[in-house]
């Protein structure tokens, strides 16, 4: 049995659409249609009623829970077979890549010292990729900011995601003129984003949590700035802001995780101004499948992540 065909079948059945399922699987609709046709040929039956929305035939309805069970058993086998080289315990952790940069160096070393028989598989993804893949690839725990909670997943809040405005000093000087000292002092308490509408901006795509945060702030301030470039990687965008290309909106937790020495080096080139917290911006959550739950070493890792964020919030109180 080709497991990829079963994953494709599950995706189409749950999305009730070839086009939506193809986007979630990151393949073309033509490829997906061929996969489903191949599966139907292998099984000698029709699985879908080609209507809008797409429906399952009786055989398709019978196959769906079986296909999910097969994929789950495959994952369980892969996890158990990894013990031969990884120790007694296995954790599959999905994590937003920028969140990973912030917290993993502070959580995993101690955790793995305390659990030397544990093997951790990390899936570091952008939020949009992570959200679309976790329903089909299977993870024990997800840490990050997703646009919505996937079906059958519980969401536990970990940290409010406040944001900062990163402004190259040359751009700030050109906008402020003689008022530079006054405005730097004023914006150090809370920036007024409308003041920067004439500045060049760096854009992050809307499908990422950083891009959705940017969209929320532009809507809140009712401004339409000029974008000079667009990047999918938040850290690369921050580096471009540091180089003077444009203004950028950056999550405070990422800035706070930098060493004081590195912050001081960046502050030679940029100003960092706090932005008001917007309730519609996605915070950092932990997600897990409510059917599978979390237990054992996965629960212990989750406790370590929660402890990290509790300490972070205690050391970086909200203004």
Query: Considering only 86-90, 109-113, 170-174, which range has the smallest mean pLDDT?
Result: 86-90
Q: In the structure, what pLDDT confidence band is assigned to residue 83 with cuts at 50, 70 and 90? A: very low
Predicted TM-score (pTM) above 0.85: no
Q: In the structure, what pLDDT confidence band is assigned to residue 131 with cuts at 50, 70 and 90? A: low
- Residue where a domain stops, chosen among 80, 106, 127: 80
E strands in 40-187: 48-49, 55-56, 89-96, 118-125, 141-144, 153-159, 163-168
Instruction: Give the Å distances, CA to CA, from 43 to 2, 10, 33, 56.
Output: 12, 15, 15, 15
- Residue where a domain stops, chosen among 45, 80, 115: 80
170 & 23 share domain = no
Which CATH number goes with the domain that contains 71? 1.10.10.10
Per-residue pLDDT tens digits for 254-275: 899 888 999 999 999 999 999 9
133 & 209 share domain = no
Report whether pLDDT(87) > 70.
no
Query: Considering only 93-107, 124-138, 163-177, which range has the smallest mean pLDDT?
Result: 124-138
Which CATH number goes with the domain that contains 153? 3.40.190.10
Phi, psi of 41 (to 5 degrees): -65, -45
295 & 228 share domain = no
Per-residue pLDDT tens digits for 42-78: 899 999 998 888 899 999 999 998 888 887 777 666 5
Q: What is the mean pLDDT of residues 268-294?
A: 88
Counting the structural domains of the chain, the total is: 3
Question: Which pLDDT belongs to residue 26?
Answer: 65
153 & 168 share domain = no
What is the distance, to the nearest Å, from the Cα of residue 154 to the centroid of all Cα atoms in its chain? Answer: 16
153: containing domain: 86-159+283-315
Name the nearest CA neighbour of 252 among 185, 316, 184.
316
- Residue where a domain stops, chosen among 56, 80, 104: 80
DSSP letter at 268 equals T
Burial 65-92 (b: 16+ CB within 10 A, else e): eebbebbeeebeeebeeeeeebeebbbb
Per-residue pLDDT tens digits for 157-204: 998 889 999 999 999 999 999 999 999 999 999 999 999 999 999 998
290 & 151 share domain = yes
26 & 51 share domain = yes
265 & 183 share domain = yes
167 & 265 share domain = yes
183 & 267 share domain = yes
Which sign does the torsion angle of CA 23, 28, 29, 34 carry? negative
146 & 174 share domain = no
55 & 187 share domain = no
236 & 198 share domain = yes
């Amino acid at each position: 049995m080709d497991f990829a065909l079963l994953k494709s079948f599950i995706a189409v059945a749950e999305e009730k659409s070839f086009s939506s399922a193809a986007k979630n699987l990151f393949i073309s609709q033509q490829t997906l249609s061929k996969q489903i046709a191949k599966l139907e040929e292998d099984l000698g039956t029709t699985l879908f009623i080609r209507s809008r929305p797409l429906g399952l035939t009786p055989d398709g309805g019978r196959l769906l829970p079986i296909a999910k069970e097969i994929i789950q058993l495959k994952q369980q086998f892969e996890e158990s077979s990894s013990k031969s080289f990884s120790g007694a315990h296995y954790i599959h952790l999905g994590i937003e890549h920028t969140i990973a940069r912030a917290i993993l160096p502070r959580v995993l070393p101690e955790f793995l010292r305390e659990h030397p028989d544990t093997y951790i598989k990390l899936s570091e993804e952008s939020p949009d990729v992570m959200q679309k893949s976790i329903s089909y690839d299977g993870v024990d725990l997800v840490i990050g900011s997703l646009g919505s909670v996937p079906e059958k997943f519980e969401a536990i809040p970990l940290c409010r995601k406040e944001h900062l405005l990163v402004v190259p000093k040359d751009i700030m000087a050109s906008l402020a003129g003689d008022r530079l000292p006054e405005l730097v002092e004023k914006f150090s308490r809370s920036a007024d984003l409308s003041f920067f509408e004439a500045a060049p901006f760096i854009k992050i795509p809307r499908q990422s949590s950083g891009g959705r945060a940017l969209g929320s702030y532009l809507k809140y301030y009712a401004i339409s700035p000029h974008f000079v470039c667009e990047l999918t990687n938040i850290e690369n965008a921050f580096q471009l802001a540091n180089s003077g290309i444009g203004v950028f909106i950056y999550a405070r937790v990422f800035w706070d995780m930098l060493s004081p020495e590195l912050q001081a080096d960046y502050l030679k080139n940029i100003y960092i101004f706090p932005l008001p917290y917007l309730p519609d911006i996605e915070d950092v959550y932990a997600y897990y499948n409510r059917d599978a739950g979390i237990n054992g070493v996965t629960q212990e890792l989750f406790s370590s992540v929660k402890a990290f964020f509790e300490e972070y919030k205690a050391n970086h109180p909200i203004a």
